[in-house]
Structure 1
Amino acid sequence: MNAPLTIRNLSPAALVLKGIERFEDPNSQQSRPTAFSFASANTASLSPSTSQLEEHTHTFKQQSIHVRLLPFESCTLTPPGLQEDAGISSTLSSANLRLTIEVSGGERYRIDTNPSYTQKASQKFVPLAQSPSHHLTALFHPSKPIPHLSIHSNDSWDLCKWMSTLPSSLPLSSLSIPGTHNSHTYYRALPSVRCQNVSVKSQLENGIRFLDIRVQPSHATDASKKDLYLVHGAFPISLTGAKYLDPVLKACYDFLEQNPSESVLISLKREGVGSSTDELLSQVLEQHYITPNQDKWYVASKAPYLGDVRGKLVLVRRYTLHEDLKASPEDHGHGLDATQWPHNSTHAMHGPFCVQDFCEVLHPDTIPQKLQYSNEHMIRAAECVAFVPGINTDKTNPVPSGPLYLNYLSASNFFRRSCWPENIAKVVNRGIEEWLCMGHHLEDPLTTPAEPGRTSTDVATEATVRKAKRGDGSTGIVVMDCVGEGGDWDLVKMIIGMNMGVRLKTETETS
């Protein structure tokens, strides 16, 4: 029996699955572990020649289909089989699948894949006409027992300025926002201290819009001393000397000046050794960093709309205020209050935030539990329906926006190497990516938040379309460790791509 393949539309446009072919690729490399043919950028090179067709006619099978998938929708197909006497097993690397899709206007695109391969892979679709209006990518996950292929749009999001495509009327809480945990810890450091692979500048350029920064005042009692050390817990973040907050903020200011459509949430928290206090930190930040740069910060206590914060840093305050600052005028504000959510929480409401921050993964056996909590929090975020002024609430007196769903994928145990940040991230980041592709915002997914890489075989009817759930499909703010390793930003792109739900809602209502 031929192995089925699940296909999902994660582009913002409706598409139609038009044809699926199965054939022996004479150019294939048998040792290739990924799901896409090296030659698939050139469709003609994979097409069998006339002589090959005459010699191996029984190895080429074609099936015409017509399955329409709206954004978020999914279906499972069984490709046409090869004759038993052809001597070709469906598990051999030489048996390829060719998928043809059609978008509005009749444009067609094609890609070649092999569901038997064992590694995640991505590949661009080949347009079958000149001057195509779309640039589509397929992302293959070798989930078991049914592999999965999701279709994404490359031309919807420029990672440097992806917020530019979103209406200013959207509440910030409605967006899918990729973030990093301990964003500043990308230097060579002690074990378990380093959580990131690239600089803050590179993170911003690759789509990150939430930064998690931990600092320690250089002087325990004197607020006139400006310097704030970057730390992670009790440890400095670099073996080559102290690092400071100033360069991080400069990278943010420079980025926002070059990309004024964007906004960056920045969470600031005091950590480190010594006798300094949150109250002192609040004075240092106010006196030396925020007040001199008021035009660069959003410090109100109310969750904003995107238009309120373009070109600005949004302060997420994880420190208590000095009494003098508490007495300041109400209209001044001191950021979104994130001071008191419960430690190690799987789901907690605090102020403008709904938080998942289960971080005490003391043994590798607990990593799947962390993954499940993270995916379940994304489910809660996806079920929300944003109130957008002029769309589904009054333009001048709108219903207040909902909470910001803050979802930390990070966890660690300093005393167990298998639970250091990079090792947990390898499992959790991959599982989040699989869930976003295969299960997120679907009414009847074939997988679960606990085991997103394992699919059910309970496919009732061939080509049955699984619909999107109620809600906008957003992920909330997803805060990651070790993102961008080896240039792999697929997870960030997927999170940004989930903004298609709120974007489509505003486009539909205004068209």
Structure 2
Amino acid sequence: MADLTIRNLTITPLELVSVERFQGEKKRTGNVVSNVTGAITGFINATDFSAHHILPKGDSHDSRDVSFHLDPFRTVRTDVRSADPAGREVLRLTFRAGDRRYETDVPSPSRKSSVMKRIDGDDDVDDALDLTVVYVPTGAFLAIFSSAKLYAWMKQLDDAWPLPLLSIPGTHNSPTCHTALPSVRCQSVGVPEQLQNGVRFLDIRVSVNTDNDTLALVHSVFPVSLTSIKYFSDMVDDIYRFLDANPSETVLMSIKREGAGRGTDQHLSRYLKAGFVDKNADRWWTEPRIPTLGQARGRIIIVRRFGLDEEMARSCWDGRGWGIDGQHWPDNCEDGTCEGGHIRVQDFYDVTESQNIEKKIDYSRGQLERSAEREFHVIGPEHDHNPDPALLPIFVNFLSGSNFFNATCWPERIAAKVNPAIVEYLCIRHGEDGKGPNQLKVGAASTGIVVTDWVGANGDWDLIRCIVGWNARLQLP
């Protein structure tokens, strides 16, 4: 078995001070009915399902004090033998941060991320850290992130930071969590739960009519639900409620016209302006430039993947347009730029056969590396930064793909392979000079906007936590 490697992806110096070894014991979770149902669902849908937790049994059979210093955003190879990968062993690691001590079990009981337990016994928790650990059995690698409160993770970030330099989780075909064809459904939970768990970019497709402004949510030509029509207006109300409760946050919304409706892009642009933006102007950002985080807080930012009504094009924002322009979206691309230069995108979605999933993973890693390369410097109390940050493109990185005619390439089955691969990349290789596919140097180490399928399945939000965690890099002096 390999020795344990630890990467500190926080701004706080840490020290590993103690290692204990326990025999691992499997404990059944749930009940027989729920476990059988979950296992069958997992088999059909390819979502990981575990009916057991791995817990330490009895007293430790080996214990030793150690001293491995972990500077911020540094990786240390220890001489600590990793836990048996078959689940027969659990390591209990104790870390020191200043005068505080924290412990975590590796692997965690559910094999998902876990929050370290503070063990110093002091009831004053005002200056205590929240630290999340993600264990990657491949390579015996432990990554430590700052534990953001996912429902309001932007609250700790500086108003002056431009959005292109943030690491932002998103979802592809965001409202497609309902009963639907397996090639249509892309998400395990709905938009409100996604927002509560850190998602800040929504990919929305609507069907447009010629004779009324009702916008139905769709995926390609299909409704997002087989049981009832779901409407854009109801989803927007959910977002309003979320932003009312969390005014520190912003939501980028990519909107595209699809479906069987006979309305045009021009109809859509008029419906959105009159029916939503004009009625609640303070809730929307429609200026055709990328705002700073401070300017965007509490608002929905429109990323426009549709053409504008001619009158709107002439009159809105002194004729400069309306919304961040993504109308001419590069199709099925590894690395393309939208006209106007605001968006640079990886959106290779036509995964025609399961062998192409590895190509999708490679393209996704490449876009992460390109986003990480950009520089950003915060200097002094006034937070001066490189001039005109709005000219920096937003990197958008779709992890999604599908092939309607091939069940092995339906969204969830692709996500079951892509998502863990990206978690592993973010923990082990992202933000390290020369460790990406093209061996580029690293600047601010932003992930850009990472757009996912099937996050939150069985309560697994590790991919979102890993993306959000990379914002700590911008806080380094």
- The alignment status of 1:349 with 2:337, answered yes or no, reads yes
| Distance change in 2, residues 1:338/1:438 (3 Å) | same
SS at match of 1:68: strand
User: Structure 2 counterpart of 1:366, which letter?
Assistant: N
| Distance change in 2, residues 1:60/1:202 (3 Å) | closer
Q: How does 1:465-484 map to 2 (within 5 A)?
A: 470-484=442-456
User: Structure 1 counterpart of 2:140, which letter?
Assistant: P
Native 8 Å contact 1:386 1:401 kept in 2:
no
- Residue 7 of structure 2 is matched in structure 1 by 8
User: Structure 1 counterpart of 2:285, which letter?
Assistant: Y
Instruction: Write the distance in 2 (CA, Å) between the matches of 1:35 and 1:392.
Output: 52
SS at match of 1:486: helix
With 261-270 and 30-39 compared, the bigger mean Cα shift is at 30-39
- Residue 64 of structure 2 is matched in structure 1 by 62
Aligned residues: 448
User: Structure 2 counterpart of 1:160, which letter?
Assistant: Y
- The alignment status of 1:110 with 2:85, answered yes or no, reads no
User: Structure 2 counterpart of 1:245, which letter?
Assistant: F
User: Structure 2 counterpart of 1:257, which letter?
Assistant: D
- Residue 206 of structure 1 is matched in structure 2 by 197
Please give the per-residue CA displacement for 1:375-417, whole angstroms capped at 9, x wherever unaligned: 1111111111235586797579655551111111111000011
Instruction: Write the distance in 2 (CA, Å) between the matches of 1:91 and 1:306.
Output: 42
Deviation, 1:348, is 1.1
Selected match of 2:252 from 265, 275, 287: 265
- Residue 227 of structure 2 is matched in structure 1 by 240
- Residue 179 of structure 1 is matched in structure 2 by 170
Native 8 Å contact 1:19 1:99 kept in 2:
yes
SS at match of 2:25: coil
- The alignment status of 1:290 with 2:290, answered yes or no, reads no
With 120-129 and 404-413 compared, the bigger mean Cα shift is at 120-129
- Residue 312 of structure 2 is matched in structure 1 by 325
Please give the per-residue CA displacement for 1:114-147, whole angstroms capped at 9, x wherever unaligned: 69x9x8433343333113612333221211xx22
- The alignment status of 1:256 with 2:258, answered yes or no, reads no
- Residue 99 of structure 1 is matched in structure 2 by 93
| Distance change in 2, residues 1:420/1:92 (3 Å) | closer
With 134-143 and 396-405 compared, the bigger mean Cα shift is at 396-405
Deviation, 1:64, is 2.5
| Unaligned ranges ≥5, structure 2 | 29-49
With 11-20 and 411-420 compared, the bigger mean Cα shift is at 11-20
Deviation, 1:366, is 0.3
Q: How does 1:346-385 map to 2 (within 5 A)?
A: 346-350=334-338, 351-385=341-375
| Distance change in 2, residues 1:477/1:241 (3 Å) | same
Give the structure-1-normalised TM-score: 0.80
Bigger CA radius of gyration: 1
Instruction: Write the distance in 2 (CA, Å) between the matches of 1:297 and 1:413.
Output: 34
Selected match of 2:422 from 421, 424, 432: 432
Instruction: Write the distance in 1 (CA, Å) between the matches of 2:88 and 2:247.
Output: 49
- Over the aligned positions, Cα root-mean-square deviation in angstroms equals 3.0
SS at match of 1:250: helix
User: Structure 1 counterpart of 2:323, which letter?
Assistant: G
Instruction: Write the distance in 1 (CA, Å) between the matches of 2:421 and 2:437.
Output: 8
Which has more strand, going by share of residues? 2
| Distance change in 2, residues 1:151/1:7 (3 Å) | same
| Unaligned ranges ≥5, structure 1 | 40-44, 49-58, 82-88, 451-467
SS at match of 1:160: helix
- Residue 231 of structure 1 is matched in structure 2 by 218
Instruction: Write the distance in 2 (CA, Å) between the matches of 1:63 and 1:395.
Output: 44
- Residue 36 of structure 2 is matched in structure 1 by none
Please give the per-residue CA displacement for 1:357-382, whole angstroms capped at 9, x wherever unaligned: 00010000000110111111111111
Instruction: Write the distance in 2 (CA, Å) between the matches of 1:275 and 1:389.
Output: 52
Identical counterparts, % of pairs: 39
Please give the per-residue CA displacement for 1:434-479, whole angstroms capped at 9, x wherever unaligned: 111111112365xx669xxxxxxxxxxxxxxxxx963112110011
User: Structure 2 counterpart of 1:148, which letter?
Assistant: F
Q: How does 1:35-74 map to 2 (within 5 A)?
A: 38-39=55-56, 47-48=59-60, 60=62, 62=64, 64-65=66-67, 67-74=68-75
User: Structure 2 counterpart of 1:358, which letter?
Assistant: F
| Distance change in 2, residues 1:190/1:399 (3 Å) | closer
| Distance change in 2, residues 1:168/1:393 (3 Å) | closer
| Distance change in 2, residues 1:174/1:24 (3 Å) | closer
User: Structure 1 counterpart of 2:355, which letter?
Assistant: D
Give the structure-2-normalised TM-score: 0.86
User: Structure 1 counterpart of 2:135, which letter?
Assistant: F
- Residue 42 of structure 2 is matched in structure 1 by none
User: Structure 2 counterpart of 1:431, which letter?
Assistant: A
Please give the per-residue CA displacement for 1:54-108, whole angstroms capped at 9, x wherever unaligned: xxxxx6363533x322232212223269xxxxxxx9677555434332112x322
Please give the per-residue CA displacement for 1:172-210, whole angstroms capped at 9, x wherever unaligned: 111111111111111111231111111111111111111
SS at match of 2:133: strand
Native 8 Å contact 1:359 1:411 kept in 2:
yes
- Residue 44 of structure 2 is matched in structure 1 by none
